Amino acid sequence: MKTHFTHIKNLLQIRQPYDNLASGQSMSHLPQLDNAYLSIENEHIVDYGRMSDFSAKSSDKNIDVSGRIVLPTWIDSHTHLVYAGTRESEFKDRIQGLSYQDIAEKGGGILNSAEKLQHTSEEDLFQQAFARLQNLIKLGTGAIEIKSGYGLTHEAEIKMLKVIQKLKRHSPIPIKVTYLSAHALPIEFKNNKTAYVDSIINKTLPEVAKHNLADYVDVFCEKGYFDLVDTERILKTAKSYGLKAKIHVNQFNAFGGVQKAVDYEALSVDHLEELTKDDIKALQASKTLPVALPGCSFFLGIPYTPARQIIDHNLPLVLASDFNPGSAPSGNMNFVVALACIKMNMLPEEAINAATLNAAAALEMSSSVGSITVGKKANFMISKPINSYTFIPYAFGENHIEQVWINGKTI
């Protein structure tokens, strides 16, 4: 039996199957139909078109969504969704004048989360993360990436990856997994970073690869964390195991990490709050996707990724939440899209492309999600009655999504 959504005020992001990435000027184009219908069967989109061309069998189900906008679910290509407890005390420290780096130097930050996670059971971690995931789905997230990186010991990193694998089995939305032991230097390796990177390369990474625990590898390539030599060693080993890279780079300092990622054909480079002309050139000569995380800029009060510069240089741009307890304690993609418009001068069309079509490419999921395309998963959302899709980022801070459909079922 087919289900038809009829009288859709505005059906957004309709694409042909080959149309998988919007770059530069084409990011401001959001293909759409007014007064449209959308048809789904089982888990998939099977048809869409203008109401004037609509016909249905008597056995089909029709749902009238007059006055509402229909668009594909958000794709969140960068999160740290699995973590133990929260970090409100650091939030207060920052309000009182400490910076993110000051807090990390005092042993807080990522090390604080690692300490908590090491003492949390697999089941407890799963329950905490599963509740967060369900909340995000209600807000319209229809596919997600989740990183390890709060374990920082071999055992705790493997534990985190197993939790993410369990989430994958229980989640209605597709999940990609990224291995991120190189997130911070554990205290016991304080004076021996090389030995920590050795342990990643020689012990944990081989086990991750052997048991297929991750799809990608990540490194926090940043001053005070992991430098270009460390990054290269990890990316090189990961590549030998067939793991592509998605790396944290240029959050606070730009020192060649983008070029390094490009050299290793990274799938994406994420953060880019700092960006040089050479970084832009490196990206232009590659297929590596730039990913902006405006929730982190908002929360830490650091610069926003220069979206205009990226788009005006004819590159594609991706938006993601960076959901984590330290630098972005919200995974609400509606807010991420609003921030992109309000703070990064992105047009609503550009922001929606960056958080759907391009985001799917950043997770190699373009064949199944990211647009309204015949054959893709029926993962889409229906707005409340609103004037136009621009209202979604414009009237920020409120939920304008009335229904979320995942795999052809309402959530």
110 binds ligand NIG (CB under 6 A): yes
Distance of closest approach, residue 363 Cβ to Fe ion, in angstroms: 15
| Distance in angstroms (rounded) separating the CA atoms of residues 324 and 296 | 9
370 binds ligand NIG (CB under 6 A): no
324 binds ligand NIG (CB under 6 A): yes
| Distance in angstroms (rounded) separating the CA atoms of residues 349 and 345 | 11
CB 55 within 8 A of CB 6: no
Task: Write the binding mask 327 to 356 for ligand NIG: x where contact by CB under 6 A, - elsewhere.
Answer: x-----------------------------
Q: Which residues bind Fe ion (CB under 5 A)?
A: 322
- C-alpha closest to that of 214 among 291, 123, 147: 147
298 binds ligand NIG (CB under 6 A): no
Tell me the site size for ligand NIG, rule CB under 6 A.
12
Question: CA gyration radius for the chain?
Answer: 21
Distance of closest approach, residue 153 Cβ to ligand NIG, in angstroms: 16
| Distance in angstroms (rounded) separating the CA atoms of residues 377 and 267 | 23
109 binds ligand NIG (CB under 6 A): yes
Phi, psi angle pair for 80, to nearest 5°: -120, 55
CB 362 within 8 A of CB 267: yes
Please give the DSSP secondary-structure letter assigned to residue 141.
E
Paired with 10 in beta bridges are 34, 69
Nearer to ligand NIG, 109 or 294 (CB): 109
Distance of closest approach, residue 270 Cβ to Fe ion, in angstroms: 7
Distance of closest approach, residue 135 Cβ to ligand NIG, in angstroms: 19
SS3 (DSSP) at 358: helix
- Of 187-246, binders to ligand NIG (CB under 6 A) are 220
**Chain position carrying tokens 């016991």:** 188
Which residues, in sequence order, are CB contacts of 397 under 8 Å at separation 6+? 335, 338
296 binds, options ligand NIG, Fe ion, none, Cβ within 5 to 8 A by partner type: ligand NIG
Nearer to ligand NIG, 39 or 251 (CB): 251
Distance of closest approach, residue 77 Cβ to ligand NIG, in angstroms: 12
| List of residues contacting ligand NIG (CB under 6 A) | 109-110, 113, 220, 248, 251, 296, 322, 324-327
